[in-house]
């Protein structure tokens, strides 16, 4: 029997406002209590909507994994994960690649997460069958044919999906049903999708592997509601959302005529090694195209076994054959946003700030007015957060303010005037505004005042150079009473005065030793360095690097000229970056300018042979004495800063040690 109830003016559930109603079902001698949320999911107009509002998924793929208990996860362990996710602006979870423990969904409902509920179905290994034709296309055909398009597996496939859907159908956090992962496509999944849509038409259906099909055969994609991809390039996403409308990509039924499904990145921005990169670029596309619903980082945590503590105090984790097992995936299980013990990787910090709830979109320096955009889907910013503005100059805070956050509706913008900011802006120096966002009121997991992210806004000055550096350079320029001399001594040039003595190797064009005030600055001769240890993301290009002998590169000087006048010495060098048995890798034209205080300015022009692969890195390698064990710098920090991974850093003065910086 069924009963229908109408709730007038309901308080709707969303990940931002996870309101739950208590339902009590009583019979003689028994009472059942549950908590339900009221909400509506749709894909109208090719846009994923919750409660008729477009939402974006900033999610993670989550496996059951712990370094001590393995795949057995208790309440306190999942709560630790969910708290970390909320601390880093994660709002969605894909249950890769199986249903979670039933009580986990109660937490997802209560704490506010959008969930892709995935059935326990994966048959990726079917593509590994050995056959005379081992081409990629043939392997895909075998993968498709053996299980997913084999009627003998229809009942088993539908059963796995049915058990997932039947068990968790009342959980409001589940906004999408996923048929499984990496099984290819065929009659089994056509049947599973059809059953799911008949049983629960209220939720969209998802299955990324629908794109792996046999050639020359027609498939039914009519019950598939979203277009899902793993690791698509930015260019391919833009092509899908072309000016002429969604064009599809030849899969999931999107052939250019009916490519109108919401686009979900079920896995993207792989977090392995020094990843993930490009998060900001994907965020920009998600904001540009309403049909791009967002996605799920692969993946939440590193998978490894706790082996205790090493003699030097470091924690030891075992994986990828460390226990003598075979087969294994090497380090391909160490690919998460957090370490096995849940210490965040810097990639999680990057994720957090990319998905901050608000952003400064404009700054009127003449009036001290910031334009603030609300990136939340259901919450007014005035109710959710406070803001704190710091004016920085040459890496140091010089002024601060806490302006009131005005009412800004979801996806809206408003101006925030910062009182007295205009008068505080310096005339000179590298100036920025660091605008920090904090949680206004405590919620179930986070305290009031918890950091939600920040913006850094450039501020114009008459001289944007760092004035500390300018003053030091000016002081060095005034101390030109001791003209450096240049003397040719065998295979070296000696540049010196009473303050310093630098020795340059004429065979390499680089310094062998540098001494200032009787203190040696180098423990070994300087070198140009183009090599580094290949990272996980270099797995495809590293073979080209080894073939080009980049790991054996050295420097050779071909031509050199020098002069000494005006309080400085100058050495001009033409060098080659060379390696055994291959052509010259790069030609370098360098000009060394040595001031009377021993400071050195280097200007380089580098031309790489176009036939060579791109360089792993380029720079000077200088081994410093071990006594130099502290580092202070002014620049982007405190985390690492790469062209595709720098949104969690800001300009400031930071300090550390070689151990903390590497």
Choosing from 208, 267, 456, 496, the catalytic residue is: 267
Q: Are residues 88 and 191 both part of a single domain?
A: yes
d(C-alpha 554, C-alpha 588), whole Å: 12
φ/ψ of 425, rounded to 5, equals -70, 130
d(C-alpha 333, C-alpha 303), whole Å: 5
φ/ψ of 154, rounded to 5, equals -65, -50
Q: Are residues 613 and 635 both part of a single domain?
A: no
What pLDDT digit, counting tens, does each position of 455-485 carry? 999 999 999 999 998 998 787 666 667 999 9
The pLDDT value recorded for residue 565 is 94
CATH code assigned at 287: 3.20.20.80
Cis peptide before 97 (omega within 30 of 0): yes
Of the three residues 439, 467, 495, the one that is the final residue of a domain is 467
Q: Are residues 344 and 447 both part of a single domain?
A: no
Among residues 250, 194, 247, 249, the alpha carbon closest in space to that of 224 is found at 194
Burial class for 279, CB neighbours closer than 10 Å (0-12, 13-18, 19+): buried
What pLDDT digit, counting tens, does each position of 54-68 carry? 999 999 999 999 999
Q: Does residue 585 form part of some domain? A: yes
d(C-alpha 54, C-alpha 90), whole Å: 17
Residues in a beta bridge with 374: 358
Q: Does residue 454 form part of some domain? A: yes
Q: Which parts of the chain register pLDDT below 70?
A: 244-259, 476-480
DSSP SS3 for 238 = helix
Q: Are residues 486 and 562 both part of a single domain?
A: yes
Element (H, E) at 194: helix 187-199
Q: Are residues 557 and 609 both part of a single domain?
A: yes
The pLDDT value recorded for residue 537 is 79
Instruction: Say how far residue 431 (Cα) sits from the centre of its chain.
Output: 27
Q: Does residue 311 form part of some domain? A: no
Total domains in the chain come to 4
Q: Are residues 61 and 172 both part of a single domain?
A: yes
Element (H, E) at 544: helix 542-547
Of the three residues 413, 437, 467, the one that is the final residue of a domain is 467
Among residues 84, 83, 646, 63, the alpha carbon closest in space to that of 346 is found at 646
Q: Are residues 295 and 344 both part of a single domain?
A: yes
Contact 430, 651 (CB under 8 A): yes
The pLDDT value recorded for residue 251 is 60
Rounded alpha-carbon distances, angstroms, from residue 509 to 383, 505, 603:
62, 6, 13
Q: Does residue 3 form part of some domain? A: no
d(C-alpha 260, C-alpha 252), whole Å: 11
Q: Are residues 342 and 431 both part of a single domain?
A: no
Q: Are residues 614 and 642 both part of a single domain?
A: no
Q: Which two tokens stand for residue 179?
A: 């048929």
Concerning whether 182 is annotated as a catalytic residue, the answer is yes
Q: Are residues 425 and 501 both part of a single domain?
A: no
**Strand pairing class (600-608; 586-595):** antiparallel
Q: What is the dihedral of CA 631, 635, 637, 643, to 10 degrees?
A: -120
Q: Does residue 108 form part of some domain? A: yes
Concerning whether 267 is annotated as a catalytic residue, the answer is yes
User: Reading across the β-sheet that carries 568-578, which strands appear in turn?
Assistant: 554-565, 568-578, 586-595, 600-608
Global pTM value: 0.93
Q: Does residue 314 form part of some domain? A: no
CATH code assigned at 599: 2.70.98.10
DSSP string, 113-171: -EEEEE-S---GGGGG---S--SHHHHHHHHIIIIIT-GGGHHHHHHHHHHHHHHHTT-
Enumerate residues 6+ apart whose C-beta is below 8 A from 486.
Answer: 493, 494, 495, 562, 563, 564, 569, 571
Domain extent for 514: 476-627
Q: Say which DSSP state 550 is in.
A: G
The pLDDT value recorded for residue 239 is 86
The pLDDT value recorded for residue 231 is 94
Choosing from 182, 350, 390, 496, the catalytic residue is: 182
Q: Does residue 327 form part of some domain? A: no
Of the three residues 295, 327, 353, the one that is the final residue of a domain is 353
Q: Are residues 398 and 429 both part of a single domain?
A: yes
Q: Are residues 281 and 205 both part of a single domain?
A: yes
The pLDDT value recorded for residue 139 is 83
Q: Does residue 316 form part of some domain? A: no
């Amino acid at each position: 029997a069924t009963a229908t109830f109408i709730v007038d003016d309901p308080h709707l559930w969303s990940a931002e406002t996870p309101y739950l109603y208590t339902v009590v079902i009583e019979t003689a001698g028994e009472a059942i209590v549950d908590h339900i949320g009221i909400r509506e999911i749709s894909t109208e107009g090719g846009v994923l909507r919750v409660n008729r509002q477009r939402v974006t998924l900033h999610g993670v793929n989550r496996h059951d994994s712990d370094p001590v208990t393995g795949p057995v996860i208790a309440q306190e362990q999942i709560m630790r994960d969910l708290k970390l996710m909320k601390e880093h602006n994660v709002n969605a979870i894909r249950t890769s690649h199986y249903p979670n423990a039933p009580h986990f969904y109660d937490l997802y409902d209560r704490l506010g997460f959008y969930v892709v509920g995935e059935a326990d179905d994966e048959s990726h290994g079917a593509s590994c069958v050995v056959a005379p034709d081992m081409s990629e296309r043939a392997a895909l055909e075998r993968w498709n044919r053996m299980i997913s398009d084999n009627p003998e597996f229809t009942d088993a496939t539908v059963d796995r999906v049915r058990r997932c859907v039947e068990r968790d159908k009342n959980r409001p956090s589940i906004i999408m049903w996923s048929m499984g992962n990496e099984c290819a496509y065929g009659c089994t999944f056509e049947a599973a999708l059809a059953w799911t849509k008949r049983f629960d038409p209220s939720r969209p259906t998802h299955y990324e592997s629908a794109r792996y099909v046999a050639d020359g055969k027609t498939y039914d994609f009519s019950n598939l509601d979203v277009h899902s991809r793993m690791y698509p390039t930015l260019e391919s996403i833009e092509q899908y959302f072309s000016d002429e409308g969604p064009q599809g990509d030849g899969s999931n039924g999107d052939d250019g005529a009916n490519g109108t499904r919401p686009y979900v990145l079920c896995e993207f921005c792989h977090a392995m090694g020094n990843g993930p990169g490009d998060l900001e670029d994907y965020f920009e596309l998600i904001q540009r195209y309403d049909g791009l619903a967002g996605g799920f980082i692969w993946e939440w945590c590193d998978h490894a076994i706790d082996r205790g503590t090493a003699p030097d105090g470091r924690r030891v984790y075992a994986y990828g054959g460390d226990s003598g097992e075979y087969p294994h995936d090497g380090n391909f299980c160490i690919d998460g946003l957090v370490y096995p013990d849940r210490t965040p990787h810097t990639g999680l910090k990057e994720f957090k700030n990319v998905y901050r709830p608000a952003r400064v979109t404009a700054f009127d320096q003449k009036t001290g007015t910031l334009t603030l955009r609300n990136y939340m889907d259901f919450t007014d910013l005035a109710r959710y957060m406070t803001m704190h503005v710091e004016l920085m100059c040459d890496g140091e805070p010089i002024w601060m303010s806490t302006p009131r956050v005005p009412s800004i509706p979801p996806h809206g913008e408003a101006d925030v005037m910062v009182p007295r900011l205009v008068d505080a802006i310096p005339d000179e120096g590298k100036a920025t505004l660091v605008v920090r966002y904090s949680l206004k009121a405590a919620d179930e997991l986070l305290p009031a005042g918890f950091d939600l992210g920040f913006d850094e806004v450039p501020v114009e000055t008459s001289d944007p150079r760092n004035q500390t550096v300018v003053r030091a350079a000016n002081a060095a320029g005034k101390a030109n009473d001791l003209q450096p001399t240049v003397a040719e001594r065998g295979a070296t040039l000696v540049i010196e005065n009473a303050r310093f003595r630098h020795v340059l190797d004429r065979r390499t064009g680089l310094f062998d030793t540098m001494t200032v005030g009787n203190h040696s600055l180098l423990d070994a001769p300087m070198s140009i360095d183009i090599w580094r240890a290949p990272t996980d993301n270099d797995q495809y290009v590293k073979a080209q690097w080894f073939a080009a002998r980049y790991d054996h590169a050295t420097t050779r000087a071909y031509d050199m000229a020098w002069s000494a006048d005006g309080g400085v010495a100058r050495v001009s060098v033409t060098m080659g970056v060379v390696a055994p048995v291959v052509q010259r890798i790069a030609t370098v034209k360098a000009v060394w300018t040595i001031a009377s205080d021993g400071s050195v300015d280097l200007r380089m022009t580098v031309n790489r042979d176009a036939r060579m692969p791109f360089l792993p890195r380029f720079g000077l390698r200088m081994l410093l004495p071990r006594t130099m064990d502290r580092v202070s710098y002014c620049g982007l920090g405190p985390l690492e800063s790469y062209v595709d991974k720098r949104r969690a850093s800001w300009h400031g003065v930071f300090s550390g040690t070689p151990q903390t910086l590497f």
